Amino acid sequence: MKVEQDIKLKNLIAFVGEKSKFYQNVFQNNEIELSAINSQEDLSKLPFTSKDDLALYNEDFLCVDESEIVDYVSTSGTLASPVSFYLTQNDLDRLAVNEKASFQLAGCTSADVFQMMVTMDKQFMAGLAYYLGVKALGAGVIRQGPGGLES
3-class secondary structure for 31-47? Answer: CCCHHHCCCHHHHHHCC
Burial letters 71-99, b for 16+ CB under 10 A, else e: eebbbeeeeeeebebbbbeebeeebbeeb
Q: How many helices (H) and strands (E) does the chain have?
A: 5, 4
Is residue 122 pLDDT above 70, yes or no?
A: no
How does the average pLDDT of the chain come out, rounded?
90
Render pLDDT for 9-64 as a digit per residue (tens, 0 to 9). Answer: 999 999 999 999 999 999 999 999 999 999 999 999 999 999 889 989 999 999 99
Is residue 76 pLDDT above 80, yes or no?
A: no
pTM given for the model = 0.77
Closest C-alpha to 45, from 9, 1, 2: 9
Bridge partner residues of 140 (DSSP): 113
